Amino acid sequence: MLMWSKERYRLVLMAVLLALASLPAWSQQYSLQTYDRKAGLESQSVSALLQDQRGFVWAGTEMGLYRFDGSSFGRMGAAQGFEQGEYITTLAQNAQIDRLWVATQSGLRVGDGLHFSKVEPQGKPLVVDVGRQMAALDDGRLLLVRGDQLWVLSGGSGTQPWQLRPMFDTAQLASVPQLRKITAVYVSQGHLWLGCDTSLCDVDAAGKVVLYGSAQGVPADSWSGVLLDRHGTLWLRGVHHVRALLAGTTRFTARDVPETDMGVVSDNGSLLEDPQGRILTPTNRGLARWEGAGWKMIDSTNGLPDIEITTLLFDTQGTLWLGTYGRGIARWNGYGLIHGWGRGQGFESVPNWSILRFDQQHMWFGNELGGSVLTEGETRLRPWPLQFTPAPRQILTLAKAPDGAIWAGLYDHRVLRYDPVSHRTTLAAQLPAFVKLLHFDRQGRLWIATVNGIYRIDNAGAPAQRIPAAQTTDQQCSDIAEGDDGTLWFACNEGVLRYANGRWARMSMGRKTMASGFSAVAVDTDGSLWLGVNEPGLFHAVVHGDQLVPTQVADTWLDNTLVYFVRRDHRGWIWVGGGGGVDIFDGQHWTHLSQDDGLLWDETSQNAFFEDHDGSVWIGSAIGVSHVMHPEAMMVRSPRKVMITSAMHGAQPVSEGDSVRIDGNHAALTVRFALLGRYSGGLPRFRYRLQGSDWIETASNIINLTGLPSDDYRLEIQAIDDDHRTVSPSAYFDFRIPPPWWLTWWACLLGLLLLALIVALSWRRHSRRLLRQNRRLETMVAGRTIELTEEKHELELARAELYYQATHDSLTGLYNRRAILDELEAQLEPHVRMEPGLAVGLIDADHFKRINDTLGHQAGDAALLAIARHLQSHVRDGDRLGRYGGEEILMLLPGIGRADAEQRMRAIQVAVSDMLHEWNGQQFAVTLSIGMVWVGQEPASVEDLIRRADAALYQAKSRGRDGVVTELMAG
């Protein structure tokens, strides 16, 4: 008995720990890129995501199939084999034979990613059950669900017709009747896993079916997702449950997401394994990620869309794509590589000016209104222990002394010292100017850069000594760096200062002058300097005695960056922070990081850079801090590829090598292309040229060629990667412009010499002129398109605001009287009314005038607002609430039986009446009286229902209030 009690105790303890691990927690902030109508998605309700073997990302929506071209989505139309507005239900691909399957509500399509055709066995459209997955087998067959049963589609290659047959014969269905209703299809390692009715079925290669039910740890549920992860664990997702079958075991283990995040019925029970081997699945409010001991909840507080996530995709580069129901597609930048920390994670103030590791367990952050501490393993920051009067504000710099004390430099000229042993904060110095940077040299001396020169404190308790301006400067110094040999360098407005072996030197710049002065400095491993100035640009300077030989770094990003900090990490990499993100130099190549790569914000802060003991990097910004977990991964130069997707001459497709007439009045040759590979980073740019001509740069993925003379042409296209300072391999398209019909071979022979001269001269002159014209036109069209898009968006916002004001009560946010009566009238329409009936409740706050008379009308308004919000939290999505007048609220419950309506009305009345209100320290309750009338399918009018509900309300009032009275309409 004692042994049994201990075992039960261990089980209970384990269950409690798992439950605690599954509770929603404040987690990191993440950076997401959203693709909506502006990005080409005409429909923003996404049902499926898939990346094909070429690298294209596909999105199935309620209005068609879309393909991502590197910057935006384009809808597949008639040229690709689709009708306008087709609802895409699911996607699958046979990677071995280059087949992409697209299920629509009008029938199945199959194609190679560029062109699609209908799949019609025996000449009839093949419609797959909505929301049911398909499984494409390596041999070219397709498993699909039709009429709740599993079917096998084969053929379709060459002259073979399409053949469709049931997966299971009559005997198998009789033996395992659960196979008559298939809810999920998943194929892995020679096994076919099926959600069958409310159970799980395992079908091996020989057709043997094994049924998993409650005896094997699989409770009854609608199972819509199955996944086998890299560890051999089989995951199972249903509406209410998540189960896992560990490798080598025979019984499923519970992995349930908390009830508040489950329960929404969905046919797409997405399960996905991330690059780190963790399992992701959508929840009611975002995502849940299995961390080994429990689920980590990720939702809108962490940057995710605040709407249902319908489908997930990891592309080949490890980027996570999220399809939503109504908000388009979100791309999670820097998934698993960068974590963000902002106000939602506990920062009391931003921006963050300084970052420091206090010890192995704690990070310190100095910001505008004080500071915060992040404890290792926690996901929420706490206020820091540095306390003093007046309270420290605007912590511009932090430094850690050799004895472990933390020194803080403030904008109000103070330097504070925090003793980690006594936990006391003392005033170390009161300077005449605000502090820009603190730096402890290897001898333990504290150097202080301020706006009026340089100071030094030799040890704790010693006064701050000003370094004479005659030796240094009385102007602003912004940064300090120490070389490997102990030499100190100071970046100041009057120039660069050096302190070595007790001697000061003002470095000469030769003929190069920097009138604006210097703002940042870092010492490279070879002793050279990296310098930021008080204007855009970065300089690399070689040291020759007391002279610097600076060279401006020629770079598109850095030429337009006002440098806030320059730092060298333990790898010897140079990190440059500015207003547009961070640029990193690994000794050979520059790489740019921004929000598009996962940073929380592009605008960095001056001293907010810290390299941690594990080589990760913390970067402060105007809205929080980004933690670059794996800098090496951010430097990987993933290849990009340009792929030509179509070439059209008017409405006619053009194949490579075709002859095209684009002279005179003929249509232009339109070439479309896409960018494949790494999708993180900024928007792509391209350049193209006809062989022998100059490059033309564009942000568009469409090229129009017209007015070219007769010749053989090769169009060359490259993608420009500004973030990695590279260009992709070229994509080519060859075509031929034939001569006019009257230029026969014998006529050409007679005028060969003359034509050669004319063609050569005119070709070069006209091609250059027309290509320049194309570039100007593209710029004008792009600018006007942006203006029209912005104007349309502003008009839509204004129209939505006016509609809201016209239909909603300004105090409670509920429908106003006119709007709720319109809703009631609409619900009474025969084609709208839902079975079994409609309940109408007229709600009145009891003795409400007493509240106004005793506590004031503001208290009454607050109570009415609280009642309205509480009512909203107790109604279904289809129910409606409106302020009928004064303290009266009208509630509509469509599609509900009388008994259920009475039960819901009473439950709502009790819940709201039991709620306590507080105003100016006084607590009071407001009970509700409800008069309800229920109507079935018989005719009824708005006036009659309101009259009857009002009569029922009067009865409720007459019976002593605080209750519900129901009247049933005859019918």
Q: List the end-to-end C-alpha distance of the chain, in Å, as a whole number.
A: 64
Cβ–Cβ under 8 Å, residues 607 and 437: yes
Examine the residue annotation and report whether 887 is marked as an active-site residue of this protein: yes
Report the side by side order of strands in the sheet with 964-968.
880-885, 888-894, 838-845, 928-935, 964-968
DSSP of 784-809, one letter per residue?
HHHHHHHHHHHHHHHHHHHHHHHHB-
Cβ–Cβ under 8 Å, residues 523 and 568: yes
Would you state the structure tokens that stand for residue 570, as one six-digit string?
């333990």
Question: CA-CA distance, 441 to 480, in Å (whole number)?
Answer: 10
Question: CA-CA distance, 278 to 520, in Å (whole number)?
Answer: 41
Question: CA-CA distance, 942 to 512, in Å (whole number)?
Answer: 85
Nearest CA-CA partner of 714 in 729, 697, 736: 736
Nearest CA-CA partner of 566 in 599, 598, 592, 533: 533
Cβ–Cβ under 8 Å, residues 823 and 814: no
Question: CA-CA distance, 860 to 871, in Å (whole number)?
Answer: 16
Instruction: Give Rg (Cα) of the chain.
Output: 35
Question: CA-CA distance, 679 to 696, in Å (whole number)?
Answer: 23
Query: What CA–CA distances, in Å, run from 432 to 291, 473, 474, 493?
Result: 52, 15, 12, 18
Question: CA-CA distance, 624 to 870, in Å (whole number)?
Answer: 34
Which residue pairs, CB below 8 angstroms and at least 24 apart, start in 857-864? Answer: 858/919, 859/917, 859/919, 859/920, 860/887, 861/811, 862/917, 862/919, 863/917, 863/919, 863/924, 863/926, 864/811, 864/812
H-assigned helices in 631-738 = 631-634
Cβ–Cβ under 8 Å, residues 197 and 181: yes
Would you state the structure tokens that stand for residue 683, as one six-digit string?
């928007």
Query: What CA–CA distances, in Å, run from 362 to 351, 359, 400, 526?
Result: 20, 5, 13, 33
Cβ–Cβ under 8 Å, residues 913 and 926: yes
Pairing of strands 964-968, 928-935: parallel
Q: Which amino acid is located at 811 in the chain? A: L
Catalytic residue of the set 308, 368, 611, 887: 887
Residue with tokens 């669900």: 145
Which residue pairs, CB below 8 angstroms and at least 24 apart, start in 58-62? Answer: 58/91, 58/100, 59/323, 59/329, 60/88, 60/89, 60/90, 60/91, 60/102, 61/87, 61/88, 62/87, 62/88
Cβ–Cβ under 8 Å, residues 281 and 257: yes
Q: Phi and psi of 151, rounded to 5°? A: -125, 155
Would you state the structure tokens that stand for residue 845, as one six-digit string?
């706050």
Cβ–Cβ under 8 Å, residues 166 and 149: yes
Question: CA-CA distance, 898 to 500, in Å (whole number)?
Answer: 90
Residue with tokens 């975002």: 286
**884: alpha, beta or left, given left = phi > 0 and alpha = psi -120 to 50?**
alpha
Residue with tokens 């933690």: 627
Question: CA-CA distance, 878 to 886, in Å (whole number)?
Answer: 24
Q: Is 220 helix (H, G, I), strand (E, B) or coil?
A: coil
How many CA atoms within 13 Å lie on the side-chain side of 325?
Answer: 12
Q: What is the largest CA-CA distance in the chain?
A: 113
Q: Which residues are catalytic?
A: 887
